[in-house]
Structure 1
């Protein structure tokens, strides 16, 4: 049973770091989800393309609940998610890897919880520490072991998309304390916590955000930047898998407390 999952975002579509690749369809109450399983460093790993095959789904149409529930049903305990982001922070330039530690949610129309029909009750999940500290530390140690610079900590601003942000919006996000801007981190991180799965995001800075960048932003620019970072990311994944402890020593696994666990 796989304990680890990698969620590939924009530009991270290639699971070739894994051996013995197999495609699967996982049936959930939120729909059928495609995943790929494989092996790496003695671990069974699930690879999920967040946007579907061929980047078919824009950020606001991604089936976030189906994706996380599929991983829960497969027995996944830890998720390393990738995200292509724009930077609001001069110290987080293009090419930077950032381990997010907080987020701000500016999405508008996405289901944010598994608990909304009344039958399961109401859950107000704690998000004081949205990203698993143990998982983040493991990723950071893996990066250091390979001399891959990683910035520890950054606030991810999630927008609805699929359009890029205006310079006025970017100025607002900066004033509120945002460091990075993307379109997919929420509700993924929230749903992972409800599913009691450890979750961490490695944000890959592809450009400076609108009004900071000198040129208009394009999706092609993002893809090129992600390709340029792909080899470093591959090395980081391999080092990370070797260092993941067998047992979890964090609070994520008991996030629902007396409410019980999801999907059991």
Structure 2
């Protein structure tokens, strides 16, 4: 058994998390640069918590400039075991309406301008992201959402686009009609991949703010309506998160799906060929296997 520590990465509209005991903003230095912001640490219901605003307080970072590697490293370095991503998204489905939540279980990564791995020349590793989210953690988010009376969908494919512009109508129709995606956003990749490399359980709670440009009534949607939905979603997200300590508990058994052992056979580079500089940078995310 280890101690549970829940890390929450808050997306657009979720820049703070109230109710934590002994809440303190702490600066975390990482070999991958400075995280998006300081990390708010504390406890809730006897379970340690850490909150990181993905875009920084005041929304400083665009989806492309979010320091994804630094963010995941910082959470791992603080002792986080389970990461909950909370992010705004658009919907490709009539029945997935603004204000609904989706517990994402698959991704299509269309981002092109981001560092997507902690590993590289001098220390090569390949992890599986066939199932990119943790079913145990996703189930807890689903239960918490239902307990809060949130309209929530169990499972969905998230199309991760580069942004910061929204998709064209042709792209939107491609993603919806040909590729069969359910929601679209700009931030869950490479975040989910990096969490897997860091052996962290990861779950994605996608909060729908609007229909994407495929929808015939999309042009009639006012930005004020989107902001209003975003604000309401943020309140619901915080309520959902507050239920997670009671569902996950303070004592944590090994992940039944192996998320916390994702690097077990992933590192390919022979020990005597590994770049010591890169290995040094990997101390938090991969030290468990590189020290063996």
Determine the structure 2 residue equivalent to 1:35: 39
Cα 1:123/1:217, change in 2 over 3 Å: farther
Determine the structure 1 residue equivalent to 2:5: 3
In 1: Cα distance, 2:256 partner to 2:19 partner = 27
1:78–1:197: 8 Å Cα contact kept in structure 2? Answer: yes
Q: Of residues 66, 71, 81 in structure 2, which corresponds to 1:67?
A: 71
Give the drift of 1:229: 2.0
How many residues of Structure 1 are paired with residues of Structure 2 in the alignment?
262
Using the size of structure 1 for normalisation, the TM-score is 0.93
In 2: Cα distance, 1:262 partner to 1:31 partner = 17
Alpha-carbon RMSD: 1.8
Unaligned runs of 5+ in 1: none
2:100–2:150: 8 Å Cα contact kept in structure 1? Answer: no
In 2: Cα distance, 1:21 partner to 1:220 partner = 32
Give the drift of 1:176: 0.4
Note if 1:194 corresponds to 2:201: no
* Residues 45-77 of structure 1: per-residue CA shift (max 9 Å, x gap): 100000112100100010000000111111111
Determine the structure 2 residue equivalent to 1:206: 209
1:78-117 equivalences under 5 Å are 78-116=82-120
Note if 1:236 corresponds to 2:240: yes
Give the drift of 1:142: 2.2
1:115-154 equivalences under 5 Å are 115-116=119-120, 118-120=121-123, 122-154=124-156
* Residues 67-101 of structure 1: per-residue CA shift (max 9 Å, x gap): 00111111111001111000011110101010001
Cα 1:259/1:179, change in 2 over 3 Å: closer
Larger Rg: 2
Determine the structure 2 residue equivalent to 1:255: 262
* Residues 85-124 of structure 1: per-residue CA shift (max 9 Å, x gap): 00011110101010001010111111110012x222x222
Give the drift of 1:15: 1.1
SS in 1 for 2:61: coil
Determine the structure 1 residue equivalent to 2:168: 166
Give the drift of 1:188: 0.2
In 2: Cα distance, 1:249 partner to 1:24 partner = 31
In 1: Cα distance, 2:48 partner to 2:222 partner = 36
Using the size of structure 2 for normalisation, the TM-score is 0.84
Give the drift of 1:221: 4.8
Give the drift of 1:219: 6.4
Give the drift of 1:224: 2.5
Give the drift of 1:226: 1.6
Deviating more after overlay: 103-112 vs 250-259 = 250-259
In 2: Cα distance, 1:253 partner to 1:43 partner = 19
